[in-house]
Amino acid sequence: MNLEEFMSVLIWDYMWGLPMVVLILATGLYITVRTGFFQFRGFGTAMKHAFRSIFGKEEADKNDTGVLSPLEAMSTALGTTIGVGNIGGVASAIAVGGPGAVFWMWVAGLFGMIIKMSEITLAVHYRSKDQNNEAYGGPNYYMKKGIGTELNLKVIFKILSALFAFGFLLGYFINIQTYTVAEAVGNTFDIGMIPVGIVYTLALYVLISGGLKSVGRFASKLVPFMCIFYLGAGLFIIARNAPAIPGVIGLIFQSAFTGTAALGGFMGASISLAIKTGMARSVFSNEAGWGSAPMIHATAKVDHPIKQGLMGVFEVFMDTFVICTITCLVILCTGQWSSGLDGATLTLAAFETGIGSFGRIALALGVFLFGLTTSSGIYAQMEVVVRYLVGESKLKNAILTFYKWTYPIPSLAMVYIAVYMGYPGTTVWLFSDFGTALPIFANIVALLILTPKFSSLLRDYKARYLGQGKPDPDFHIFYEKEENEIAHKAK
């Protein structure tokens, strides 16, 4: 058994096997029912809030705690979701699981909207702030405060927190971003992947040297432009191939329940493989349940956790049902899905088929920019976990500095290893799936336990802002206030 065969068995039979799929779907269904199907009934509210924030129409929140504005936080988080996962990850899902993977990606997205909303809301509610009034939060924080302290389930908190931190920090060593950029740019311009990786790494160093605020400003300016370009090019290709779209949609639904036979360079895929690849790539792309985006959103200057949580519904919708769907339709309607290509190369080939070499070149350059927002966003997310682990240790600044200046190196090393060993893109993406399974499992279980808290925050938001019910004046919008009151009473 070679490495690729071993990793395939490990990932698809165990780490992303049936139990993980059932856990994600069951948790999404449970939160959906507990919140009265809010991702559907409150969809208009979420979209209105997001677009008003984007166009500067939303009233400023009266809360100075935080680092980023709500828009900068969303743009930074969206910059990590709209990137290589949409271009390389979705393509690899089709290359491995067939067209049926697209359907299961959509299913995961439907539940992903409420899952991401809940984890962002909880991250903002349970966040902590430092002496500079800068806020930090994420799964480790709501596991500790919500499960460990409020519910007094200390053993469960410690297990989940350790699994999440260990699994998430694996991303320090297993990082797909630089490889995908090097693959796309190198293959397009016929230059080596390693030189591209080096240039990309230098550009990333320049970006992250300015810290989280610099990343937020960069993302808020670049992400909207990137989305418009990608949407425009993709929709143009789909429009040119409009007659093929009904057949493509039929193929997606048929393959989701029957599997896909071998065709051309495509090796064939079972129903089970379509489900697993669709689910895994959906979570990697929209980050719903991964616990990564909440770390960025927790830094937002916002006066109610649900306000920031609404951004999660918008993010998953844009990522899965707009960006990823366009990628899938372009790949399928141009016929490139059965070519035997995979990863970013497959998407590039589809764009080249659709609008010529210019489309491939423009997309390759776009991948470079997409990658920068993704990599810098993940850098900021991992910093939150590192801060949580080191606490107020005397070595805190030294550890954070070491992390900052070494973060891009393992990702560049992965490019070198892949080139040296001759690994195809599908093998490299298996390493990525390995790195996401543990944190997703731990975070999903935590969300399941803390769903009642999320539901109570949603009820409070509806009462305060939507006129649905009467606000409770004693309800604590932020856990920090409750902590302060407890500490004051203890004195």
pLDDT in tens, 188-206: 888 888 999 999 998 888 8
The more confident residue out of 482 and 324 is 324
* CA 353 to each of CA 334, 450, 467: distance values in angstroms, whole numbers, following the listed order: 7, 47, 52
pLDDT score for 76: 61
Q: How many CA atoms lie within 13 A of 365 on its CB side?
A: 6
CA angle 423, 427, 431 (to 5 degrees): 120
- Would you state the pLDDT for residue 315? 87
Element (H, E) at 284: helix 271-286
DSSP run (H or E) holding 52 = helix 43-54
Q: Check whether 158 has a pLDDT greater than 50.
A: yes
Residue 129 confidence (pLDDT): 79
Whether pLDDT at 460 is above 90 = yes
The band of 491, judged by pLDDT with boundaries at 50, 70 and 90, is very low
What percent of the chain is predicted at pLDDT more than 70? 84
Average pLDDT over residues 104-125: 94
Torsion of CA 235, 355, 359, 192, to 10 degrees: 130
Residue 159's pLDDT is what?
A: 94
Query: How many C-beta atoms lie closer than 10 Å to residue 28's C-beta?
Result: 26
User: Average pLDDT, stretch 129-149?
Assistant: 85
Residue of higher predicted confidence among 218 and 49: 49
Q: Locate 464 and state its tokens.
A: 């305060």
Cα–Cα distance for residue pair 6/170, rounded to 1 Å: 19
Q: How far apart are CA 144 and CA 450, in angstroms?
A: 11
Please give the residue that has the higher pLDDT: either 320 or 396: 320
Evaluated on CA atoms 410, 412, 414, 420, the torsion sign reads: negative
Can you name the residues that pair with 263 across neighbouring β-strands? 266
CA gap 460, 436 in Å, rounded: 33
The residues, ordered by sequence, that sit 6+ positions from 204 with a Cβ below 8 Å of its Cβ are 178, 372, 375, 376, 379, 408
Show me where the domains of the chain are located: 3-490
Q: Where is 455: in which H helix or E strand?
A: helix 451-465
How far from the centroid of its chain's Cα atoms is residue 181's Cα? Answer: 17
Band the pLDDT of 488: cuts 50, 70, 90. very low
In 3D space, the residue among 142, 137, 138 whose CA is nearest the CA of residue 157 turns out to be 142
Residue 198 CA, distance from chain mean position: 25
Using pLDDT thresholds of 50, 70 and 90, give the confidence band for residue 446. very high
Q: How far is CA 163 from CA 115, 155, 157, 200, in A?
A: 19, 12, 10, 31
Q: Which of 118, 124, 119 is nearest to 137 (CA)?
A: 124
Quickly list H helices, 171-210: 177-189, 193-208
Which pLDDT score is estimated for 58?
A: 61
Under 8 Å between Cβ of 421 and 89: no
- 453, with CB counted inside 10 A (0-12, 13-18, 19+), is buried
Q: Locate tokens 């908190």: which residue? A: 157
DSSP bridge partners of 486: none
pLDDT band at residue 160, thresholds of 50, 70 and 90?
A: very high
- Cβ contact 291:166 at 8 Å: no
The CATH class of 3-490 is mainly alpha
> Around 249, how many Cα atoms within 13 Å sit in the side-chain half-sphere?
7
pLDDT at 114 (0 to 100): 96
Q: Which residue has the higher pLDDT, 82 or 343?
A: 343
Q: Which amino acid is located at 153 in the chain?
A: L
Would you place residue 246 in the very low, low, confident or very high pLDDT band (cuts 50, 70, 90)? very high
Rounded (5°) CA angle 413-417-422: 150
User: What does the pLDDT read at residue 480?
Assistant: 73
User: Is pLDDT larger for residue 333 or for residue 393?
Assistant: 333
pTM: 0.83
* CB distance 35 to 114 below 8 Å: yes
* CA 404 – CA 398 distance, rounded (Å): 10
